[in-house]
């Protein structure tokens, strides 16, 4: 079954600290992996997208890694800010029946405290 699992479910860190969010997937055939940030009451916004040939991709203080062999990805946030408080969603693209289907994880809810 095509699934995307994220851990932890929720996380609290202090402002300025780093954190790493995990994503494991069983999606096949795999096209790409995306990380989205979703602020409370808003729609998801794309942070990074990686194909199977890419190991790492950065977007400012966000760095995503991908290990296509172990089917794991992580999102590392450096020097966290209060504005990083949000849900972070891992999304894997499955190519099936001529259509690219996005498989969403349930997200990790991050709270950054002063």
Partner 1 sequence: NAGVTQTPKFQVLKTGQSMTLQCAQDMNHNSMYWYRQDPGMGLRLIYYSASEGTTDKGEVPNGYNVSRLNKREFSLRLESAAPSQTSVYFCASRGQGMNTEAFFGQGTRLTVV
Q: Which residues bind partner 1 (CB under 8 A)?
A: 4, 31-32, 34, 41-46, 49, 51, 89, 93, 95, 99-107
Closest separation in Å from C-beta 33 to partner 1: 10
Least distance in Å: CB of 96 to partner 1? 12
Residue closer to partner 1 by CB (options 66, 80) is: 66
Q: Please say which residue, 18 or 96, places its beta carbon nearer to partner 1.
A: 96
Give the pairing of strands 86-96 and 108-113.
antiparallel
Q: How far is the CB of 55 from partner 1 (least distance, A)?
A: 16
Contacts of 100 by beta carbon, 8 Å cutoff, 6+ apart? 31, 93, 94
Q: How far is the CB of 16 from partner 1 (least distance, A)?
A: 30
| Nearer Cβ to partner 1 (17/42) | 42
How deeply is 98 buried, as exposed, middle or buried, from its count of CB atoms within 10 A (0-12, 13-18, 19+)?
A: exposed
Shorter beta-carbon distance to partner 1: residue 12 or 106:
106
Query: Bridge-partner residues for 45, per DSSP?
Result: 37
């Amino acid at each position: 079954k095509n699934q995307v699992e994220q851990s932890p479910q929720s996380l609290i860190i202090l402002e300025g600290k780093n954190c790493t969010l995990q994503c494991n997937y069983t999606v096949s055939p795999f096209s790409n992996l995306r990380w989205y940030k979703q602020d409370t009451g808003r729609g998801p916004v794309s942070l990074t997208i990686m194909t199977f040939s890419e190991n790492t991709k950065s977007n400012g203080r966000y760095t995503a890694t991908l290990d296509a062999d172990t089917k794991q990805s992580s999102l590392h946030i450096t020097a966290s800010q209060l504005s990083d408080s949000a849900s972070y969603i891992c999304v894997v693209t499955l190519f099936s029946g001529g259509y690219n289907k996005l498989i969403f994880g349930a997200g990790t809810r991050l709270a950054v405290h002063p």
